[in-house]
Amino acid sequence: MGVSVGREVLDSSIRVANDVASGDSFKQSLNRNASNSYNSLVNRAIGKLGQTGGRRPKRRTTRRVKKKKTVRKSAGRKKAAPRKKVTRVTPNICLFDTPPSQVAFSKGKWMTFSPSNPIEPKGPYTFNVFDSAHFFQLNKTYLTFKAHLSSVKKKDEGGTKTAVPISHTNFIGATFFNQVKLSYNNVLVYDSSHYAYKAYIQTLLGESDEMKEGFLSAARWSNDEDSLGAVLVDKRRLQEDGTNGLDICTPLFLEPFQTDKLLIPHINIQLTLYRNNDAFCLESTEADAPAKIFISDLKLHMRAIDVVPSATIALENRLRTTPAQYPFKNLKMKVITIPPGRTELPFNVLYQDILPRRVIVGLIDPEAMEGSFTKNALNFAHHDVSEIQLDAGGTVYPPQPIQCDFVNKNYAQAFARLYEELGALSEKSCPRITYKMFRNGYAFYVFNLTAMDNPNSWELIQSGTTQLYIRFNKKTPDGGLNACVLSEYDGMITIDAFRNTTYVDVNLASYMLMMGRLENLSPARIQDLNQSLKSLNIVQSWNACNGCPIGLGAELSLDATPRSHHFINNVIPKPPARRRSVSTKRYFEEKYQVRLNYPNSPLLRDTTGSMYPLEIVWLRIRIY
């Protein structure tokens, strides 16, 4: 119908145009043609209705049937389930949801402990935590105490005596202590030697600037980059004020305490702290003992958590089959003495056992490290290092030595590796050491030995020798230098249902065989093996033939072997009329019927002078 109307309008328009061209009036022609067009359309409509009977004819449609594709199903393959559409709702519209509730912990509280021994000026200070009901959150452990000055030296200025200005060492809350020992149920599980340097380096390179200037200011941390060379710092000035002292609160920088896991109950914790000397803790312009420092009101604060009984019972049942595991990053500190007048330190053996994850090297004055009122004990100067390199298990880090020229201020590679090897670039954390500060007391050389530095994963254990090489532009000063080497390892403490820490028993000869041959060793090689023995966490050693204990201070003899060492014996066989000399090898063969497979290996000499073959010595080593 629409098509017919359109055609009729077009024809009518053409007729009107022709009439106007012939001289007719436009109005008359329009009225006439409009009437004719209307009548024509009506007649057409009536004709259509007559043909269809008043109904619109249906349009024929052909239905197409899709052919199904035949797919051969393979044997054993199932049809994949259709993917369900996941609907997501933004949290802004979730008006009826609440956060999940924790039901494992019933209560948390702070517990304060006092030392079990009197607080003497020279220490040590011992804490015994005897608790049988609480879980302890070890990473929330703090020490509080007050620092005082006594016997302050006074000098005469214009007829009046004034006290010598004295300041404490930076981060005195941690650097006041030199060594910290931790024991569980009277078993030593951790011994932190050089605690002051470990805590300082760990905080300087690992904590953020907000943490150091905020929370750690209670432990008297101060950024002294602008006045590091000066002896006195006004904000660290101490006064002899009688009863009032410098109030200090500091966390414990023990690696086993740097964990989020709760320590299981029924464990007696023993903590022993040994302090540094006065010359290490104080700084002044006077070299002759200007004052003494001591502490009072020493307290230990620990966070105790009460766990609901059902969860406690479930944990105890699991402990019967699986020990509790507390992984942590174990830090070892080793000090290497560099003699005076040397221009290089050849590859010096650091360790001969497990390769570390990361090694941090810093040089310091030996006098300042021992304690000097006029020297900063935390000043890691560059000492004109020109080259430094590390060899770990036959792989050199880096392949070419790190080049430094501090005289001309060219040490960009060492400075950049400080940030890169610490992971500061990937973790977006900054130790806030500028290019200028690096050469003015913050010269740390960092070597990362891991393939992928991921703090949340462990590295595969690799054994080998770790060596350090250093070269200097100038000869080392009088008195020499100390190279402080801080190494990082993967460690773990495990505690079973009986609250025993896990250890392993190994034969000394079997352990030594992992490092090479045992017989016909040179004195230098034996000294290296002795250093390796000292680095082990040996709990106990004994003679396997009779079960008698051997002192922990035993070491390998440089010249005595089971075949060459003889002594006077009256026991084997039956004593003859006169005394006779017998070798160690024959003694054990005749008395204990033990045949020694390594007669030319060094003997183990204890502190009393007794000799033991390596094959009959057993060690109990604690595994971290």
Judged on CB neighbours under 10 Å (0-12, 13-18, 19+), 188 is middle
Segment (H or E) for 143:
strand 135-150
pLDDT tens for each residue of 71-96: 454 445 555 556 655 566 677 777 77
The Cα 606–Cα 612 span in angstroms is 8
Tally the C-alpha atoms within 13 A of residue 436's C-alpha that lie toward its C-beta.
6
Q: Residue 227 has what pLDDT?
A: 39
3-state class (DSSP) for residue 452: coil
Residue 183 in this model has a pLDDT that exceeds 50: yes
Boundaries of every domain in the chain: 2-49, 103-322, 324-497, 503-622
Q: Residue 485 has what pLDDT?
A: 94
Q: Which residues in 12-34 are b (16+ Cβ under 10 Å) and which e? A: beeebeebeeeeeeeeebbeebe
Q: Residue 360 has what pLDDT?
A: 94
Q: Using 50, 70 and 90 to split pLDDT, how confident is the model at 116?
A: very high
Is the domain defined by 503-622 classed in CATH 2.170.260.10?
A: yes
Judged on CB neighbours under 10 Å (0-12, 13-18, 19+), 555 is middle
What lies within 8 Å, CB to CB, of 500 at 6+ separation is 185, 187
Choose between 523 and 70: higher pLDDT: 523
Please count the other Cβ atoms lying within 10 Å of the Cβ belonging to residue 297. 12
Residue 441 in this model has a pLDDT that exceeds 70: yes
pLDDT tens for each residue of 237-248: 565 555 578 899
Residue 280 in this model has a pLDDT that exceeds 60: yes
Residue 16 in this model has a pLDDT that exceeds 90: no
pLDDT tens for each residue of 506-556: 788 878 887 788 888 888 888 888 888 888 878 788 888 777 888 888 889
3-state SS, 379-411, equals CECCCCEEEEEEEECCEEEEEEEEECECCCCEC
CATH of domain 324-497: 2.60.120
Tally the C-alpha atoms within 13 A of residue 379's C-alpha that lie toward its C-beta.
23
pLDDT tens for each residue of 380-426: 999 999 999 999 888 899 999 999 999 999 999 999 999 888 876 55
Residue 574 in this model has a pLDDT that exceeds 80: no
Please count the other Cβ atoms lying within 10 Å of the Cβ belonging to residue 266. 14
Q: Residue 127 has what pLDDT?
A: 95
The Cα 196–Cα 275 span in angstroms is 9
The CA dihedral of 530, 534, 535, 539, to the nearest 10 degrees, is: 130
The Cα 169–Cα 164 span in angstroms is 16
Q: Residue 239 has what pLDDT?
A: 59
103-322 adopts what CATH topology? Hexon Major Viral Coat Protein; domain 3 (3.90.249)
